Structure 1
Amino acid sequence: MRQQSTRRVTVLGRKAVVGVVPVAVAALLATAGPASAGTTGASGAGDPYFPFAGNGGYHVSHYGLTLDYDPASRHLTGKAVLTARATARLTRFDLDLKGLKITGLTVDRHKAAFRRSGQELVVTPRHALREGQAFRVTVTYSGTPGPVTDPDGSLDGWIPTDDGAFVAGEPQGAMTWFPADNHPKDKSSYDFTITVPEGRAAVANGVYLGRRTAHGRTTYRWRQSEPMAAYLATATVGKFKVEQYTTRDGIKVYNAVDPREAAAAAPVLKKLPSVLEWESKVFGPYPFRAAGAIVDHAPNVGYALETQTRPIYDAAPDLSTLVHESAHQWFGDSVSLTSWKDIWLNEGFATYAEWLYSEQHGGDSAQKTFDGLYARPAGDDLWAYPPADPGSGANIFGTPVYARGAMALHELRTAVGDRTFYRILRAWAGEHRAGHGTTAQFERLAERESGKNLDKLFKTWLYSTGKPNRP
């Protein structure tokens, strides 16, 4: 989500298990971030808004993260094992890592040279990596992690709280707590082993594998098998009340709630199974094995985020926020961006999910919500820039991306009819499941499913500046 919480302001050691990367995704990754001079991995994935995010020359298939965090001292010790494959011949490659001290680094068990350059960890392996070669990078590190400040002034990454840490990485923050190929183009499976003081919990993505306590410290293990972008990873630490159950569809739910938020969160979290069931009917089968929520008490954060399988909330969410972050599991998490410029594919879709849920559960119709927004004057922030071309990283979490993005979907629904519109949503989520999508691909899919030329509609609602005229 990455806009201010709608609860306050309504603005419409285990062996690595390597995930399977869809063929289409592998092809995209092979062409993204070409190696400079054929031997040096690029220091970015080529994103126009975040040029140093991600890296070129390789794809990470799996992260094995072993972390030890002490909330009192705010000290983190980490070991990251990255299983990767070179997409070009490499004598050098980069990882994204900010602020933490490297205590050891090997490539295929051989010590490798490294240096720091801003957020880049520049690695020179002992032997050049052949194109297509599988390799393993092991990085040990320690320090006091903290957040990064995004272009819009908000914080993301490892954000300390009074009892642990709120860990939410969109768009840049993953690099504050583990070395990564930190761009949505590169998706991987994950294993997390996180040790914290007894009495604290450490909550990550995917399926909960268990915990053990010894000598006053508890170790939690988690596994995210389906591919995940680095910014969607979390390792949130705090004092939490935990609830676990399995839905009728076999989804393993794990909710972790700060006791200070428990009373307010309970009636909303009770609806999570029915929300997921409704969204599965509208968008297609739920894309992951696990689900749940992390409800923290983090008044300095100001937003919720769709961390994969288990969204994180800075406070008890309202129902609309729960619907929004749950919808992201399809739109944003399973179907991921290839460029931050296309973020309306995440936020416009999740916002429109709120409208649909309201319409089908006794609230305002999507048309009424649309009309209320359209009534805003031409000088309103809603019309400040087009949702499919926000113009900069400072704008990607602005009102046009969310609300006008949802308005574009409503205009599409009006143009093609309900039956075709819902078929488009399901096709988008199904055909790009566990992969990536672009705005251009969505436009082609919508025209294919509807049999209509929709160029004018998309130009008007996704790419035009100012308030669109309506017939």
Structure 2
Amino acid sequence: MRKRLIVSAAASALSLLLVVPASAADFQPGAPGVGDPYYPTYGNGGYRVSHYDIRLKYQPVTDELEGTTTILATATQDLSRFNLDFALNVSEVRVNGRAATFATSGEQELEITPARPLAKGSQATVVVRYKGVPSTVKKYGFTGWLRTPDGGIAANEPEAAWWWFPSNDHPSNKATYDVSVLVPDGNQVISNGVLTGTSSQAGWTRYSWRENKPQATYLATLAVGKFDITQDTTASGLPVYNAYSKDLGENADAARASVERTGELVDFLSGYFGDYPFSSIGGYVPNVPTRYALETQTRVFYSPRQFAKGANTSVVVHELAHQWYGDSVSVARWSDIWLNEGFASYAQYLWSEHENEGTAQQLADFVYASHPAEDPFWTVKPGDPGAQNQFSSAVYDRGAVAIQALRVKVGDEKFFQILKGWPTEHRYGNATVQDFQAYAEKVSGQQLGDFFTTWLFTPAKPAVGPGGAKPASLNAQAKDAVPVEPKSWKKIQEANAGHGEGR
């Protein structure tokens, strides 16, 4: 009897270690979106991606793109089916080596049913083969792929991935990337991270890039064309890789005079934001008719029209500041956009101070006074602007003024601790405006709820200006009520032109 009891006890203990298979009823489809209030169908539920391996072949003459993306993911629920966001034509999908059935729905949903369902916590390798002409594909009435005279560009916000690789397209699911693209000899491929190698065969050259730090899908970029390449290092030894289309025309010199200062400006911003979070930096200027720039991770996209009025280091500062505020620390949802744009705009104020072209306080006072109380500018709430106002000038300008007001409220010592500590505290992660408020309160020792409500969440002009004083005229209608325009202001405005233009 004693022996039997021992065996039974051992068997019982062993059963506790075994994973009990889920029943068929436990396996459910993943949600077709992450539930972002601004873009409910963007991203997907039921899994998280850790890595994208993207291997493509691209013909610049015809704009034809074909290839295979391999996705490494982990199921976060028992999955019978899951979605990817994608717009091109798919010919085959495999999950863990087995052929999967697939269908499309909505504007960008690729619905995948694996041959065997995925248990919660299990690893999945998803292989998608596809082909298409991305510039001809429109979703929601627009295309995220920019055609150029000698190739194509993927650089857009809040979406661009659908036109060149299938993904879980929401900033809350960041991953690492390998991007390898085959193009006809004479063309170059620009992407994120570090160029790990090139190889040529039979008139074609393959370029392989790697971004080994977490990256949001909209920050992944691809550019194919004929570029002049410059390579250098910052004073601290960080590799700098810049590229310029060969046919930029009269904007070429101004673009170079701006973007070639990237290394210097990264070192400048590191003094305020802490150590640069990635393994390389740079930018590229293709021949496109757009006006906007975009903080694509480690390799910033600049429209040549950013330099139509001459060199503009302000736009370079703005996009480089995003490498900390927006790229390393990314929004948890798109309503948190102030954490990106307010701080990148404020970095321009810091650069203006450095260049003796207007202090941050002078710039904030100028913006505050330039907009009378009845101006619709004040009806946009930077802390939750709404999808239609996500790239409103108020998110940038009122957002930066709010940061200067915070500086005045907590004092320089605590303010600069917050400015540097925040990207360190949340490095490579995601965060909300509420998370930032909590962090600012912790560092400053002050309760800031009323302050953030006034500056970020109230659709009206704050009664007290960013300097902490109530102005004589809230309407600022009188000519003498508006301060003298700081010297840097026009360049800041030029840098921020084209917000939301990509869509």
Q: Aligned equivalents of 1:149 and 1:357: distance in 2?
A: 39
Q: Aligned equivalents of 1:48 and 1:243: distance in 2?
A: 42
The Cα offsets for residues 186-240 of structure 1, whole Å up to 9 and x where unpaired, read as: 0000001011121111100001112122222211110000000000001111111
The answer to whether the Cα contact below 8 Å between 1:334 and 1:433 also exists between their aligned partners in 2 is yes
Change in Cα spacing, 1:156 to 1:255, as seen in structure 2 (3 Å) is: farther
Q: Name 2:270's counterpart in structure 1.
A: 280
Q: Quote the offset at 1:147 in angstroms.
A: 7.7
Q: Quote the offset at 1:149 in angstroms.
A: 7.2
> Which runs of structure 1 show a deviation greater than 4 angstroms over 4 or more consecutive aligned residues?
147-151
Q: Name 1:7's counterpart in structure 2.
A: none
Q: Name 1:33's counterpart in structure 2.
A: none
Q: Name 2:91's counterpart in structure 1.
A: 103
The Cα offsets for residues 293-334 of structure 1, whole Å up to 9 and x where unpaired, read as: 0111111x2211000001001115421100000000000000
Which AA in structure 2 matches 1:324? Answer: H
TM-score where L is the length of structure 2 = 0.83
Q: Quote the offset at 1:378 in angstroms.
A: 2.2
Q: Quote the offset at 1:157 in angstroms.
A: 2.2
Considering Cα pairs closer than 8 Å and 6+ residues apart, tell me whether 1 or 2 has the greater RCO.
1
- Specify the SS of the correspondent of 1:244: strand
- Specify the SS of the correspondent of 2:129: strand
Structural mapping, 1:133-172, within 5 Å: 133-146=122-135, 157-172=144-159
Which AA in structure 1 matches 2:90? Answer: I
The answer to whether the Cα contact below 8 Å between 2:233 and 2:263 also exists between their aligned partners in 1 is no
Q: Name 1:174's counterpart in structure 2.
A: 161
Q: Aligned equivalents of 2:296 and 2:260: distance in 1?
A: 19
The answer to whether the Cα contact below 8 Å between 1:172 and 1:231 also exists between their aligned partners in 2 is yes
Structural mapping, 1:351-390, within 5 Å: 351-375=345-369, 376-390=371-385
Structural mapping, 1:33-432, within 5 Å: 39-98=28-87, 100-118=88-106, 119-146=108-135, 157-259=144-246, 260=248, 261-299=251-289, 301-315=290-304, 317=307, 318-375=312-369, 376-391=371-386, 393-432=387-426
Q: Aligned equivalents of 1:339 and 1:181: distance in 2?
A: 14
Q: Name 2:18's counterpart in structure 1.
A: none
Q: Aligned equivalents of 2:109 and 2:201: distance in 1?
A: 36
Q: Aligned equivalents of 1:96 and 1:37: distance in 2?
A: 24
Unaligned runs of 5+ in 2: 1-24, 465-469, 471-503
Q: Name 1:27's counterpart in structure 2.
A: none
Q: Name 1:438's counterpart in structure 2.
A: 432
Change in Cα spacing, 1:196 to 1:381, as seen in structure 2 (3 Å) is: farther
Q: CA RMSD in A?
A: 1.6
Q: Aligned equivalents of 2:61 and 2:241: distance in 1?
A: 26
TM-score where L is the length of structure 1 = 0.89
Q: Quote the offset at 1:400 in angstroms.
A: 1.2
The answer to whether the Cα contact below 8 Å between 2:27 and 2:117 also exists between their aligned partners in 1 is no
Q: Aligned equivalents of 1:150 and 1:334: distance in 2?
A: 28
Which AA in structure 1 matches 2:295? Answer: E
Change in Cα spacing, 1:321 to 1:120, as seen in structure 2 (3 Å) is: same
The Cα offsets for residues 156-182 of structure 1, whole Å up to 9 and x where unpaired, read as: 622111111121131022112110000
Q: Quote the offset at 1:277 in angstroms.
A: 0.4
Q: Quote the offset at 1:45 in angstroms.
A: 0.7
How many corresponding residue pairs?
431
Q: Aligned equivalents of 1:149 and 1:193: distance in 2?
A: 25
Q: Aligned equivalents of 2:381 and 2:390: distance in 1?
A: 11
The Cα offsets for residues 129-175 of structure 1, whole Å up to 9 and x where unpaired, read as: 11100110000000111388798x8x662211111112113102211
Which AA in structure 1 matches 2:55? Answer: T
Q: Max radius of gyration: which structure?
A: 2
Q: Aligned equivalents of 1:213 and 1:314: distance in 2?
A: 30
Q: Quote the offset at 1:394 in angstroms.
A: 1.8
Change in Cα spacing, 1:116 to 1:287, as seen in structure 2 (3 Å) is: same
Identity %: 45
